[in-house]
Amino acid sequence: MAIYLEMPELDKDFPFRILVNDGDILTTPHWHREVELIYVTKGTISLGIDDVPYKLREGEIAFIGGGLIHYVLASPGSERLVYQFDLNYFTAGNKENLDLQKLFAELLPISPYWEKKDETAVRSLLEQMNREMENQETGYQFSLKAELFELITRLLRDIPQQAKQPKKINKLATQDVLEKLDGIFSYVEAHYQEVLTLQTIAEITGYSSFYFTKFFKKNTGKTFLTFLNEYRIDKAKWLLINSDLPVSEIITQTGFESDKTFYRLFKSSMAMAPLEYRSTMKIE
């Protein structure tokens, strides 16, 4: 599985799952087409959504729309439930023609920003879903589906929107395109510290350089070089907030051949220097 793109293995007939993660499990920056909720059941966790760091305590919830880059730092002594589901299953026959991906990407992402009654209602639904999944009594999938529809309705009606729109909503594609992209991202994940050329990555995918360029731009909205630079910058941001490595070592570890190029791209991306970013974003 590539770190940049995660492809959860969900049941195609009912694309929904719940994971239990303890505080020693961290997830580096990634995105996926599925919607995700994180419910903290013990302790405190530190996470980031769309480059914004947050801290959640027991009983609090994070909501992550499909396509948004996010991560969770190691938080010893904590525990969290992770809920993932594919919106495509729940939008079939949607006569309102709602763009749920866009609407969900605009919601305030953590429950301390919500009304207390709305946080309580969503928490109650998540707990009930977890009980149904654990017990699996007769008809439990019907109950889960009903609760998921109620959850979607509550999110749409009750959760306030952000004043500022998220910066990164990754394009959602068909499954075969996602699998092809996953192969590309997996290769980049394994080799981003090396010299990577357009011709090399095109050969890996079995495409000509010309066709690969069109395919990649069509399905990601950016050139491969732009993606590779952004990927390396994302790796650098991860190291800045999750390590004490000097910037010179981070530049080497993320595959940049020139310090000047790294500083230019980083400042263009984040509107601040790397050490300022570390000071601003690192969660103690």
**Domains in the chain, number:** 2
Tokens 């919106």 sit on residue: 87
Contact 82, 133 (CB under 8 A): no
Look up tokens 């609090």; give the residue. Answer: 60
The backbone torsions φ and ψ at residue 276, rounded to the nearest 5 degrees and listed phi first, read -65, -40
pLDDT of 2 over the 50 cut: no
10 Å CB burial of residue 42 (0-12, 13-18, 19+) is middle
Q: How confident is the model at residue 214 (pLDDT cuts 50, 70, 90)?
A: very high
Residue 92 confidence (pLDDT) above 90: no
- Write down which residue in 106, 131, 158 finishes a domain: 158
List the strands of the sheet with 61-64, edge to edge.
16-22, 79-85, 35-42, 61-64
Residue 85 falls within a domain, yes or no?
Answer: yes
DSSP 139-201: THHHHHHHHHHHHHHHHHHHSPBPSS--S--PPP--HHHHHHHHHHHHHHHHHTTS---HHHH
Residues 152 and 233 in one domain: no
| Domain ranges, residue 99 | 16-158
DSSP string, 87-154: HHHHHTT-TT---HHHHHHTB--BGGGS-HHHHHHHHHHHHHHHHHHHH--TTHHHHHHHHHHHHHHH
Are 126 and 239 in the same domain?
no
Average pLDDT over residues 147-171: 79
Please report which confidence band the pLDDT of residue 174 belongs to, taking 50, 70 and 90 as the band edges: low
Q: What is the pLDDT of residue 283?
A: 57
Element holding 35 (H helix, E strand): strand 35-42
The residue among 112 and 230 whose pLDDT is bigger is 112
Q: Ranked by mean pLDDT, which of 59-73, 82-96, 254-268 comes out on top?
A: 254-268
The answer to whether residues 144 and 201 belong to one domain is no
- Other C-beta atoms closer than 10 Å to the C-beta of 141 total 15
The larger pLDDT score, comparing residue 169 to residue 241, is at: 241
Residues 64/70, Cβ–Cβ less than 8 Å: yes
Cα→Cα distances 85→7, 96, 145, 206, 275, Å:
11, 20, 11, 32, 37
* Alpha-carbon span 99 to 251, nearest angstrom: 39
Residues 215 and 140 in one domain: no
8 domain residue, yes or no: no
User: How much is the pLDDT for 30?
Assistant: 83
Buried b (16+ CB within 10 A) or exposed e, 59-92: ebbbbbbbbbbbbbbebeebbbbbbbbbbebbee
Which tens digit of pLDDT belongs to each residue from 215-259? 888 877 789 999 899 889 988 988 888 789 999 999 999 999 899
Average pLDDT of the chain to the nearest whole number: 86
Average pLDDT of span 150-160 = 93
Residue 83 has φ and ψ, to the nearest 5°, of -110, 130
Whether 7 is in a domain gets the answer: no
Domain-embedded: residue 54: yes
What is the pTM (predicted TM-score) of this model? 0.72
Is the pLDDT confidence value at 6 over 90? Answer: no
Q: Report residue 1's pLDDT band, with 50, 70 and 90 as the boundaries.
A: very low
Around 259, how many Cα atoms within 13 Å sit in the side-chain half-sphere?
6
Question: Do 60 and 149 share a structural domain?
Answer: yes
More confident site: 40 or 220: 40
